[in-house]
Amino acid sequence: MVLWHLQQKSFFFILLSFTIWSWGTLDGVVSEPQTVLVTLGCSLENVSDVSIFQNNLNETFRSMRTKISNQSTHFATEQVVRGNNPTYGLFQCRNYLSITDCLTCFDVADNKIRHNCSAASNGAHIIYDGCFLRYESSSFFEQSTDPVNNIHCENETRNSTELASTVQQVLKNLELATPRITGYFAATKTMVPNSNGSNIYAFAQCVENLTQSGCDNCLNIALRNFQICIPYSDAKAFDFGCFMRYSTTAFFADNQTIDINHFLNQGDSSKKKAIIGGVVGGASFILILLALIALYMRSQSSKMVPKGDILGATELKGPVNFRYKDLKSATKNFSETNKIGEEGFGDVYKGTLKNGKVVTIKKLDLGQSKQLEKDFESEVKLISNVHHRNIIRLLGCCSKGQERFLVYEHMKNNNVGQFLSGENKGALSWIQRYGIILGIARGLAYIHEEFHVRIIHRDVKTSNILLDDDFQPKIADFGLAKLLPRDKSHISTQFSGTTGYVAPEYAMHGQLSEKVDTYSYGVVVLEIISGQKSSNAPKADDKGEYLLQKAWKLYERGMHIEFVDETLDPNEYDAEEVKKIIEIGLLCTQASPAARPRMSEIVRMLKRKSLMEHQVPTMPVYVDPSSWPKKEDTSDISSSSNATASISILSGR
């Protein structure tokens, strides 16, 4: 009898071991809670009674965990309204996880959020690959999107057209199907054509208490965000209402996929029914309906982007507010040892927050200047809504008397301008320079063409291009930025900018379009390649020529390879590629704004081996900095549109 029990137990353990092994090795997917951290955010506002709030929060978390465990569900909400500090909580894990892994992810999220956020904080959220946990002191259950929606791109795969097109279609299908599926989730596996068996694993999920339109809206934003990641083999987009991920590596088992074709066909069927109903209703009804829609869209379009006034864009939300005492503590009372730079209207400091995060703090002394107040509000409003890997991330702001503070992510390697002169001159390799040139183009293409409002930076220059730990560029300083209505090719506005980077039509006539940024970008490209600043006075051996003049004349003679920074090792770069990028810089600085390419075209040019036959630079026009009115403290010029400056017409080819 004892032997029988031992044999039975042995069989049980063998069976159990086999089950665990077979699940753990299924298509390389290991059963685990997927606790790779994606993002964590803590509110900077405090509750009035920490003790009551924490008791409510503990009960909220216990209740949600119990629901997940007892009801075998992947989603739970709870609210505890006791006293004057209520709590509202939401938890969701990925539907392909087991309930055990789901609970483990909950515990990890609970522990992480409590250790990183203050007990007095009135809200926090944390997202892992496997789950999402959020709590607030007010209800948020119907919220689907937020300005902090974001994207992570990992493992870039170059020159894979098949991968890119497959990913595009997979994500589009998920965006269409997921809102129509009960529970708002879908996982798919799709083979990449001509790839020797590569697959795209993709997953989409909305929080279950959203409406179908809320889910659809959230996933639509995620799909747009994914566009910057298409060269990558792994990426994830996340928001308060949804989560999307794709990868060429399996992160769920094959038996977790579902066939979404039925839900895609539902959309086609509904469209056909709508068309039939419209025909039956009569052609006159259709015409009236279309006219009303056109009038509505026209009125909405005119409201969406006000002329040149960033503060009128009501769909843009503001960032979080930091407390002055926290910034003062982070910078050791704004000490000289923490100061890392100076700007025309204030100083820049390096600071360390209480949670150990290193930040950059820009301190502005407004005095009585209404214009500076407007610039501050513009930058806060704009940058807090723009999320792109090549745009500096604004973490928050602060006001104290006549002083204003902007808190940014810290960039270890300062700015590109620091590498064009002084002890760092020549320190950038060709690979780093190319990456910077491409990254700036991607960032400008995003704010010009992909963001939901069209933004003109107006002050693109090397000192406004910051560099992270890996020398990836981040466009900064949006204090002069303007919105350009979608139905306008340009607007007339007061001129503000920096000498040496100014487009002639803007400097002389106040005509502002995205091609003003394109011109400035072209100058920056030429500076990065030559290792020289555009605004520098000509040297004797330059025959009295400014940088753009020198580049053009070398190009005319077919000798533009001589324009390259002499500190670069010729073995580091391909001469034809460098010549192509010099030509791109000249294309951007052409006299006619219409002749300058759009930034999205420039991104494509940079990736091609050579320019197309029709992409030949024409004669540039150069605004001579020596003719600008002299200012003692800054090279930034702000004047009326009738600015007095001379234009140098360079010799034609």
* Residues 428 and 478 grouped into a single domain: yes
Other beta carbons within 10 Å of 539: 10
Question: Taking a C-beta distance cutoff of 8 angstroms, is the pair 484, 305 a contact?
Answer: yes
What is the rounded CA–CA span in Å between residue 564 and residue 248?
39
Which of 482, 534, 522, 536 is closest to 605 using CA atoms? 522
- Left (φ > 0), alpha (ψ -120 to 50) or beta: where does 626 sit? alpha
For residues 156 and 231, what is the distance between their CA atoms, to the nearest angstrom?
6
pLDDT exceeds 60 at position 20? no
Residue with tokens 């709030």: 53
Does residue 499 form part of some domain? yes
Residue 234 shares a structural domain with residue 106: no
User: Which amino acid is it at 637?
Assistant: I
**Residue with the two structure tokens 């055990």:** 100
Place 294 in a pLDDT band, splitting at 50, 70 and 90.
Answer: low
Q: Give the CATH number for residue 396.
A: 3.30.200.20
Q: pLDDT at residue 71 above 60?
A: yes
Q: Does an H or E element contain 245, and which?
A: strand 242-247
Mind listing the pLDDT tens digit for each residue in 357-393? 899 998 887 766 666 676 677 667 667 778 888 999 8
> Taking 60 as the threshold, does the pLDDT of residue 297 lie above it?
no
Do the domain assignments include residue 291? Answer: no
Q: Which residue has the higher pLDDT, 277 or 372?
A: 372
Asked whether the predicted pLDDT for residue 277 surpasses 70, the reply is no
Q: What is the pLDDT of residues 590-648, one digit of tens each?
A: 988 889 999 999 998 998 877 776 788 887 876 665 555 444 333 444 443 333 344 44
402 inside domain: yes
Are 548 and 580 found together in one domain?
yes
Per-residue pLDDT of 111-151, as tens digits, reads 999 998 999 999 999 999 999 999 999 888 888 776 555 78
Tokens (6 digits) for 241:
């209402």
CA distances from 532 to 430, 465, 500, 591 (A): 15, 15, 12, 22
> Which residue type does 345 have?
F
What is the rounded CA–CA span in Å between residue 433 and residue 575? 14
Pair 446, 373 in one domain: no
Position with higher pLDDT, 592 vs 290:
592
Distance CA 267, CA 119 (A): 47
Least confident of 233-237, 270-274, 542-546, 604-608: 270-274
Phi first, then psi: what are they for 73, rounded to 5°?
Answer: -115, 160
Domain-terminating residue out of 352, 375, 409: 409
State whether 539 and 434 are in the same domain.
Answer: yes
pLDDT surpassing 70 at residue 330: yes
* Cα–Cα distance list, 25 to 35, 324, 588, 634 (Å): 19, 53, 53, 63
Half-sphere exposure of 122 (CA within 13 A, CB side): 14
- pLDDT for the residue 529: 95
* Residue 200 belongs to a domain: yes
Token couple for 474:
């981040």
Q: Per the structure block, which two tokens stand in for 176? A: 């269409």
Q: What is the pLDDT of residue 540?
A: 46
pLDDT of residue 6 exceeding 80, the answer is no
Q: Which helix (H) or strand (E) holds 87?
A: strand 87-93
Q: What is the mean pLDDT of residues 513-540?
A: 85
Residue 303 lies in a domain: no
Same-domain status, 522 and 616: yes
pLDDT of residue 568: 92
Claim to verify: residue 212 and residue 262 sit in the same structural domain: yes
Q: What is the CATH number of the domain that holds 183?
A: 3.30.430.20
pLDDT at 488 over 80: no
Q: What's the mean per-residue pLDDT of the chain?
A: 79
Contact 579, 611 (CB under 8 A): no
Torsion angle in degrees (nearest 10) through CA of 529, 534, 536, 539: 60
What is the phi-psi region of residue 277: left when phi exceeds 0, alpha when psi lies from -120 to 50, beta otherwise?
Answer: alpha
Q: What is the DSSP secondary structure assignment for residue 450, as one 8-state letter?
A: I
Q: In this structure, what CATH number is given to the domain that contains residue 599?
A: 1.10.510.10
User: CA 349 to CA 327: how far, in whole Å?
Assistant: 10
Q: In terms of C-beta density within 10 A (0-12 exposed, 13-18 middle, 19 or more buried), how is residue 399 classed?
A: middle
Burial of 381 (0-12, 13-18, 19+ CB in 10 A): buried
Considering 31-35, 430-434, 496-500, the range whose residues carry the highest mean pLDDT is 430-434
Q: Does 49 reside within a domain?
A: yes
Residue 338 reports pLDDT greater than 60: yes
Same domain as 456, residue 566: yes
**291 pLDDT higher than 70:** no
424 and 571 together in one domain: yes
Indicate the residue among 101, 136, 171 that finishes a domain: 136
Domain end (from 409, 428, 443): 409
439 contacts: CB under 8 Å, gap ≥ 6: 389, 390, 472, 473
For residue 581 the two structure tokens come to 């990028």
DSSP 8-state secondary structure symbol assigned to residue 590: B
Query: Same domain, yes or no, for 346 and 434?
Result: no
Give the pLDDT score at 623: 66
Whether residue 7 lies inside any domain: the answer is: no
Taking each helix axis from N to C end, the angle separating 161-177 and 212-226, rounded to the nearest 10 degrees, works out to: 170
Question: What DSSP element (H or E) covers 473?
Answer: strand 473-475
Q: Which residue has the tokens 């005509």?
A: 511
For residues 339 and 443, state if they share a domain: no
- Kindly state whether residues 505 and 563 are assigned to the same domain: yes
pLDDT band at 27 (very low <50, low <70, confident <90, very high): very low
Secondary structure, 3-state, 348-411: EEEEECCCCCEEEEEEEECCCCHHHHHHHHHHHHHHCCCCCCCECCEEEEEEECCEEEEEEECC
Q: Which of 129, 459, 477, 517 is catalytic?
A: 459
CB-based contact 550:563 (threshold 8 Å): yes
Q: Is residue 312 part of a domain?
A: no
- The arithmetic mean of pLDDT across residues 582-594, rounded, is 92
The C-alpha angle 398, 402, 484, rounded to 5 degrees, equals 65
Say whether 459 is catalytic: yes
Backbone dihedral region for residue 183 (phi beyond 0: left; psi -120 to 50: alpha; all else: beta): left
Quote the number of domains for the chain: 4
Instruction: pLDDT band for 31, please (50, 70, 90 cuts).
Output: low
The boundaries of the domain holding residue 55 are 37-136
Classify residue 282 by burial, with Cβ atoms within 10 Å: 0-12, 13-18, 19+: exposed
